[in-house]
Chain A
Amino acid sequence: MISIMAIVGFGLAGLCGAYRLLIGPSPADRIIALDVTLMALMGAIAVDAARRDDPTNLIVLVVLAIVGFTATVTVSRFLEHEQSTKARPR
């Protein structure tokens, strides 16, 4: 029963992140919203694995933690590069 509450909390956090992902004014807002949505998904997977006492799905979490970080770094460096080429045209 309590773990259902945890899953509901993660689901609502994922919905908040998805809404900010849709309306976010700047690309940085969208990327951090994607991060929060991913974190909510990972937390929900962990709670679900604990509820069913089945560690099969947990390897997905390891992959998601590393791949999500790559997306954040790539987009932030892209934003900086775009700004620097716009400021100083060659």
Chain B
Amino acid sequence: MTIAFELLMAVGGAIALLAGVGLLRFESSYARLHAAGKASPVAFLVTAIGAAGLIGWEGSAYLAITAVAMVLTLPLGVHLLFRAVHRTTSGSHLTIDELAAAEARTTTEQR
């Protein structure tokens, strides 16, 4: 059983390494945000499950609070960053741009 939890922690480390490599290797800001923002919470969740199996009740409670806070907050922050990138750069290279269409629709409705 211990070896299974340790393997979970190692898998979490591998996913974190994937996030780092994606952050280094991808070409555009969108791709880098995609790689880092989706792999990060999963890596920490897998590691937290592995660590919670080894550390007892008190540590598991801390890890559960941290995991819930991370899953709630990190995608929110990455979503805001996506929107900031979309608004500060030209979206001419995007094939489908639903956010620009939605924002144009909202501004015409407000007028």
Contact = CB atoms under 8 A, between A and B. Distances in A.
Contact of A72 (B19, B55, B78): B78
B20 A26 contact: no
Contact count band on A: 35 or more
Contacts of B55: 49-50, 53, 55, 58
Contact of B48 (A46, A68, A76): A46
A16 B21 contact: yes
Interface string B74-95: 1011101101110111000000
A16 B43 CA distance: 15
State which size class the interface on B falls in: 35 or more
B80 A76 contact: yes
B33 A12 contact: no
Interface string A43-71: 10011011001010011011011101100
**Majority secondary structure, A binding face:** helix
Contacts of A16: 17, 20-21, 23-24
Given A32-B32, A43-B43, A46-B44, 18 more contacts: A10-B17, A16-B20, A16-B21, A26-B89, A33-B36, A35-B77, A35-B78, A36-B40, A39-B70, A43-B13, A43-B44, A46-B48, A46-B51, A58-B55, A62-B69, A69-B77, A73-B77, A80-B84
